[in-house]
Structure 1
Amino acid sequence: MLLVWLALVLSVTAFGQNKIRLNDNWEFVRQDLGGVWEAVRPVVAGNPESVPLWQKVTLPHCFNALDAVDPDVNYYQGPGWYRTQLTVQNPYAGGRTLLHFEGAGQKTEVYLYTTKVGSHVGGYDEWTVDITQAVADFQKTDAFKTQFKGKIPLSIRSDNSRDLEMIPSDLSDFNLYGGIYRYLNLEYVPAVSLERLVAKAEVDKAGKAGVLTVKAVFPEGTPATNAQVSVRLLDPKGKQVDKYQTTVSAKAGEQDIHQFRVKSPQLWSPDAPQLYTVQVAVKAGADTYEQTEKLGFRHIEFVEHGPFLLNGKRLLLRGTHRHEDHAGVAAAMTEPMIRQEMRMMKDMGVNFIRLGHYQQSRIVLNLCDSLGITVWEEIPWCRGGLGGEVYQSQAKRMLTHMIQQHYNHPAVIIWGLGNENDWPGDFPEFDKEKIRTFMKELNALSHQLDASRYTAIRRCDFCKDIPDVYSPSIWAGWYRGIYTEYKEVTEKEFKDVKRFLHVEWGGDSHAGRHSENPDNALAKISRGQGADERSGDASLFGGSARVSKDGDWSESYLCNLVDWHLKEQETMPWLSGTAYWPFKDFSTPVRPDNPIPYMNQKGVVERDFTKKEAYYVFQSYWTTQPMVHIYGHSWPVRWGEAGEQKMVKVYSNCAEAELFVNGKSYGVKKRNSQDFPAAGLRWLVPFNNTGDNVIKVVARQGKTVVQDEIHQRYQTEKWAKPAKLMVEKLGEQNGLATVQVKLLDANGVQCLDAVSWINFSLSGDGHLLDDLGTSSGSRKVQAYNGRAIIRVKTNGGKSVVGVQSEGLATALLPL
């Protein structure tokens, strides 16, 4: 029943009752046109020789679905065009017909036939175009009746060209995608409707006295008339709590409707995200406009020089970050993809998320509300410095839109004003005082629009006194320092600001790469040098010793780093919380040399939702549903001396666990979060060096028993440098073949520490599943433990896979 209830909650939108997603029947061309006439001319002229050639697409759609991670090209930044034909049937006499964009990047122009009806600058906020008059005008033309057979031609120009006077900066560590990459809706509303509904839910610290203030915002052009407004308030189970009815004089702007008093409301929290429903009906003449919003009663407080309180009690914010990015689609994530991602976060134990570094989809915010995930959402003033009047106007406009559009979400606790604004580069001038002045303006604007929430920025020390909450740069064990310095460095930074929250920590890991000695690089790092990221630290070349450059980028190291941070966070009672950077690997134009080119690989899941080992480290600390996971599910071969005892680590939230290797018990261990690594659930055991080693764990929490099992080979043969490639087909299912290449030395021994670059190619009927930004979905990729994998869609024919690595003979595999 809970799942059914959750599905119903998630299906509710804040729109009126006549809304259609325009997903199908689109055509697209990734280049500019001479003008909008080129988009409609072939239809009008009946000319089959249309140039350029258009491709059929569905929305959401991103220009850069594949080229964002193409190892051989810069991702496309420029204009592209979309076109379709609409059937417009507005049921309201005198009503309005709207196009509602949930987000399109980065500049957009909208045309009906050849008439420009709207435009927008900014890739992440929602916006609406009223096409009522343009539709009516076109319906009077011969083209409507003859060439277009009663349909309305819609053409949209989207443009993500580089522009220094736009935010975010192209120096940002993420792609500025192009396209209609969020949902586009056709909406019909009566003459009198709402632009938005403001539902401010407040409750005292004790949770006893709840107040809901309802305001209606009427759009520009609302006809002067009286309208009857009815409001119903429903509790989380759908039972009516109260209702109210009034008559208002409808006119453009905000109007107070009613204030409800709710005694002892059911409180919203991560453990119990109780959502009330407010239903509003606006009746004018024969037509009624309806809108529904979800809201929650909760009290938030960041204690000065202390922790975060939710509803009067301490809540350690256990967070991560989200970029709008996914394998094969880039920014154009569908609603099912978004639901899966947010559900995976919740299952990992997340109760907090920073949406980096821009306003995100209403679908994300709705899920945060219903799943119980608190939110820091920010505008994309990210890196580069500070531009001029146009630049600053966009930042203020996007801040205004973000707050107005997401004001009602109980999940939101922080409005972010900027990120890494101490990072120059876009302009000849970098004036700290001017940046401070503008930050103050944004801070004041945020509080003016919403006095109930906090403001925050990350990493701009010369502005840290301006927002309510500050997050410095702390990357202990990655860009600077070693991870055992984390608590010491954090305490120092905590004492230096009024309210402290640590967002962005972690490290990169190349999925599938594992190490027997992952912490070796720490011996090169000097203690006491700080843990902040400095200029050049993200580079893989030059500069001081650091794990980000000198480490092995193994999942093994990342698990140790995460393990240490989480165990320390349990012993910091003053800590408000942290957010690991990020949840999922994402593409970036500034990291071409990473093991997967153009990928930021700090995620705990890959770009296609494949979980890395670190995901389970978080689960072992942050969740209560009994779980257990043996480290090494993607580590097929371990290595060492014959008879050597090897460490087996188990991540679990259970009180105790027993390990079995090849059927033999190696005893029961008790979990102790402060016993690093793996909270004491580690064993030293010998492996057989012939055949599979079967490793099994049985964990117990009260009467609940959970188990996990993996199989690993153990290699004792020593290897020299890679001398040849061996390529093999591992299997095929549903027309999808999995191909693996191994790096072998001259004696045929697999080089298990090889990190050579591998290049896949293919000739024939099939095609490589590449440009996905994953360890098994990239045609250029660094090896992980002397191997690499690619998949081939065979298309029922014959193909030959080619594999190259510098200095080695090319290997071929017929399929």
Structure 2
Amino acid sequence: MLTRRIATCYAILVALLYSTRITAQQSVRISQSWEFLQGDLGGIWEAVRPAAEGSPESVPLWKTVTLPHCFNARDAVDPDQNYYEGPGWYRTLLDIHNPYNKGRVQLHFEGAGQKTTVYVYTTKVATHTGGYDEWSADITTAVNDFVQSPAAKRFKGKIPISIRCDNTRDLEMIPSDMSDFNVYGGLYRYVNIVYTPALSFEGFHLQAQSDAAGKEGILTISSAFADAENIGTGTLELRLIDPQHKIIKTIKQPVTAAKDVQQLAVIQLKKPQLWSPDQPQLYTVEATLTSAAGVATWSGQTGFRHFEFVTHGPFLLNGKRLLLQGTHRHEDQAGVAAAMTEDMIRQEMILIKNMGANFIRLGHYQQSRIVLNLCDSLGILVWEEIPWCRGGLGGEVYKAQARRMLTNLITQHRNHPAVILWGLGNENDWPGDFPEFDKQQIHAFMSELNTLAHQLDSTRKTTIRRCDFCKDIVDVYSPSIWAGWYRGRYTEYKTESISEIAKVPHFFHAEWGADSHQGRYAEDPEKFIKQIATGKGADERTGDFALTGGNARASKDGDWSESYAVNLVDWHLKEQETMPQLTGSAYWVFKDFSTPLRPENPVPYVNQKGIVARDLSPKEIYYVFQSYWTKTPMAHILGHAWPIRWGKPGEEKEIRVYSNCTEAELFVNGKSAGIRQRNSQNFPAAGLHWNVALNSGNNTVKVIARNGKQTATDEVNWQYQTTPWTAPVKLILEHTGELVTVKAVDAAGVLCLDAANEIEFSIAGNGRLIDDLGTAGGSRKVQLANGQASIRIAVNEGTVVVAAAGKGLETGMTQIKK
């Protein structure tokens, strides 16, 4: 147990160190002292002109922000308006001191959405289209020109930098605005100022390969060079460092600079330490280039591993079967949208690893280098893709962007041993952006991208999800199987999967799951299930995501409770253990995320299929995954956020424990309810379920799970309500400090525990609602969960009145003084 904890801590430390590595001689994040203006300017002069004489402010007004920053940090989940799509400006004053004589100065963008223009003073120096790939603006000449200009005196030695970002809707740009996620705007990833000597590395590439048995490894090192002053030659020193930080190879040789990529070294290793999810062994390469221009350095990591998708069979890593157990990630979080800091990203990725995942699909675009570095060091295999997502196929501008983004994706992330799949598209069978939807043209362009991907990287496989008329192109195909949510029942999952596995040489199941409204539970979550037809397939079809029309389906007719989501996940994980030909699957999605396509959801504008909420708080299904996928002993009683259960006096209620231990003993109000043995095929909860009568009022439930001498415990307190209720008629508000809770009660004042009405909070006085977070407890419009909802408020001095209103319900109010 102690050894495992030490190993986990070490992995986290390595992840922290690796995620901050730089790939230039000197690279500095510039996060502070930025100003932001939402909207457009008449021209660049308005960003840099001096304030009018006698005026304390420039017009228009700018606000101070810290990077990363997103236009849509709050409005993406504002229930009353469309999120902002348009231009926005950033500006700052930089101290630029290049330590290299005649060296280069660059602004390096780790991602900016979606069209970006960079200015030094009034000089345009670079433009870029694409919100997710990395790129740089060389500002060397513009800076040198500016410091010699008369305007420089006004800025007292600092360099004025202005950046225009624009996420305006554009049919000739990917991703499509029909995509089920927000196309964010802003400098929502880190911006760095990079200094390099005139002769430096550019596009450094590590290609590590191993045979399946790990008897021999080959590391090929390549790079191009940037040569601003035609230095031409230098001395190259390469050092290879093993996972235990020991230098195992040093190479020193002359090198002649060239713009094209050239092979620098080929290193052979006997019995390299192989990279895997359980042991993500990473080798470090350090490169030093010494020339008349100065010293340029590069440092990065790689790993040796061998993988194979067996035809109509499983996935093999290093010669052994590995069931890929995964999820998906969107770059999105409560309060910041896409502008996640490094600490936020690290917290999320560690939660994914601690859930037991060994695989992740990064949907639906190239993600931050920080994410890829963490996948390498934590041991999470990766499918990463370009944002050609829905809508159809545009013209030459559209295609050029797709080619460019695929090229950038592969060249920028191919050093990562975690990556095994390059995704070329998603749901490209979904029309709508253009008058014509030509399957042959889509097929031809997908073929072109497939060829390009293999030319750029012959060591990985290509893949797409849900476009059957293109499934013959890629190496690995993922059809649409949403058993129990968008079509069919979850009990059809195995039959549908086996059928699809037989249709393509190499199969993977990306995207399955269920929406759940955090905090909503049901004593009978499947009472609707008889409405759902069987034997009609389990694929999602265009429009199935809507809450109206079409056939009966869980997504429209179910209760969106955590209870139903637990059943669906539990069944899928049970069945996955019984399919030896299954390569693996990835649950959609790890975290709730914002989307403009779902305004009517319980939390408006949020896709609520997350394993955790948009603020990273785990839902119940997080522990279901842990019980199947993790080894460290754990136990979790289903219903931690279910404060009030209901039923008749003396009625037995099901109590479930999700645990990876071999047996568990349940105690209800201090009395043992018996010991159960874990058997993954004994649904639900792998046999760890009991039927026990609860007392009216308070109940204490405890479990002790055992795995040999190791134990795991958990405990909850439930109220049990036996008083029946009728229809809700009014809302009552209570507050504890700055937490306000609304409850729906019937005419007799009984809490209506199945009430799911939409309510809206409002506030009057010297305070504000802490809303627009896209969470069940952070939205002013939200559906009740078991008759209740809550929100936090910020109160200044004085008195505020908070109200909650709902259609057909008497409004509730409470007064708070501070």
One fold, TM greater than 0.5?
A: yes
On the 8 A contact 2:52/2:58 being kept in 1, the answer is no
Aligned with 2:726 (options 703, 706, 720): 720
Q: Does 1:265 align with 2:272?
A: yes
Once the two structures are TM-superposed, the CA of residue 17 in structure 1 deviates from its matched residue by: 3.6
Where in structure 1 are there 5+ consecutive unaligned residues? Answer: none
Matched with 1:814 is 815
User: In the alignment, which residue of structure 2 is the partner of 1:200?
Assistant: 207
Aligned pair count? 808
Q: What is residue 692 of structure 2 aligned with on the other side? A: 685
Q: Please point out which of 176, 179, 182 is paired with 1:172.
A: 179
- Kept in 1, the 8 Å contact 2:132–2:366? The answer is yes
Alignment of 1:131-142 (within 5 A): 131-142=139-150
Of 88, 102, 106, the match for 2:96: 88
Contact 2:288 2:298 in 1 (8 A): yes
Confirm or deny that 1:229 pairs with 2:230. no
Is residue 2:523 matched to residue 1:541? no
Is contact 1:657–1:697 with CA below 8 Å preserved after alignment? yes
Q: CA deviation at 1:252?
A: 1.6
How many Å separate the matches in 2 of 1:215 and 1:357? Answer: 29
Q: How does 1:307-326 map to 2 (within 5 A)?
A: 307-326=314-333
- Once the two structures are superposed, residues 19-43 of structure 1 have per-residue CA deviations (whole angstroms, 9 ceiling, x without a partner) of 1101000000100000010001135
Please give the per-residue CA displacement for 1:27-75, whole angstroms capped at 9, x wherever unaligned: 0010000001000113597853422111110000000000000000000
After TM superposition, give the deviation of residue 758 of structure 1 in Å: 0.9
Write the distance in 2 (CA, Å) between the matches of 1:379 and 1:5.
Answer: 29
1:10 maps onto 2:11 in alignment = no
Determine helix, strand or coil for the equivalent of 2:796: coil
Q: Is the counterpart of residue 109 in structure 1 residue 110 in structure 2?
A: no
Work out whether residues 604 and 614 of structure 1, in 8 Å CA contact, stay in contact via their aligned partners in 2.
Answer: yes
Residue 181 (structure 1) aligned with residue 182 (structure 2) = no
SS in 1 for 2:201: coil
Map 1:177-576 → 2, pairs under 5 A: 177-219=184-226, 221=228, 223-285=230-292, 287-576=294-583
Match of 1:746 in 2: 747
8 Å CA contact retained: 1:220, 1:253: no
| Kept in 2: contact 1:476–1:483 (CA 8 A) | yes
- Structure-1 separation of matches of 2:754 and 2:518: 14
Q: Secondary structure at the match of 2:581?
A: coil
Asked whether 1:602 is paired with 2:609, we answer: yes
Residue in 2 that maps onto 1:144? 152
Letter in 2 for 1:725: L
Matched, 1:673 2:680: yes
CA distance in 2, matches of 1:19, 1:44: 36
Q: 1:813 to 1:66 in 2, by over 3 A?
A: same
Structure 2 letter corresponding to 1:59: L
- In structure 2, distance between residues paired with 1:721 and 1:592: 26
Aligned ranges 1:152-163 → 2 under 5 Å: 152-163=159-170
1:481 maps to amino acid: G
With over 3 angstroms needed to count, the CA separation of the structure-2 counterparts of 1:222 and 1:620, relative to structure 1, is farther
Cα displacement string for residues 741-797 of structure 1 (whole angstroms, at most 9, x for unaligned residues): 000000000000000011001122221110000000000000000000101122354
Query: What residue identity is the alignment partner of 2:283?
Result: Y
Residue 683 of structure 2 aligns to a residue in which SS? coil
Q: Which amino acid aligns with 1:632?
A: G
TM-score normalized with structure 2 length = 0.98
Once residues 474 and 287 of structure 2 are traced to their aligned partners in structure 1, the CA distance between those partners, rounded to angstroms, is 35
**How well do the aligned residues superpose, as a CA RMSD in angstroms?**
1.1
Q: Which amino acid aligns with 1:494?
A: I
Cα 1:363–1:797 change in 2 (3 A) is: farther
Q: Secondary structure at the match of 2:410?
A: helix
Pairwise CA distance, 1:105: 0.3
State the Cα distance separating 1:218 from its structure 2 match.
1.3
Distance 1:349 1:519 in 2: 28
Q: Is the 8 A contact 2:478 2:507 kept in 1?
A: yes
The letter for the 2-side match of 1:193 is: S
Partner-residue secondary structure (3-state), 2:667: strand
| Conserved 8 A contact 2:101-2:293 | no
Which piece of structure 1 moves more, 37-46 or 84-93?
37-46
Kept in 2: contact 1:224–1:249 (CA 8 A): no
AA at the equivalent of 2:724: K
CA contact (8 A) 1:78 1:161 kept: yes
Return 5+ residue gaps in structure 2 as ranges.
Answer: 1-5
Q: Match of 1:102, as an amino acid?
A: E
**Contact kept? 1:43, 1:148, Cα under 8 Å:** no
Instruction: Check conservation: 2:410, 2:457, Cα contact below 8 A.
Output: yes
**Percent of aligned positions that are identical:** 62
Instruction: Say yes or no: does 1:590 pair with 2:591.
Output: no
Structure 1 distance, partners of 2:585, 2:728, is: 42
- Classify the secondary structure of the residue corresponding to 2:200: coil
CA distance 1:702–1:350, change in 2 (3 Å): same
Q: Paired residue for 2:137?
A: 129
In the alignment, what sits opposite 1:661? 668
Alpha-carbon distance in structure 2 between the residues aligned to 1:806 and 1:770: 20
Provide the C-alpha distance between the structure 2 equivalents of 1:475 and 1:723, rounded to a whole number of angstroms: 37
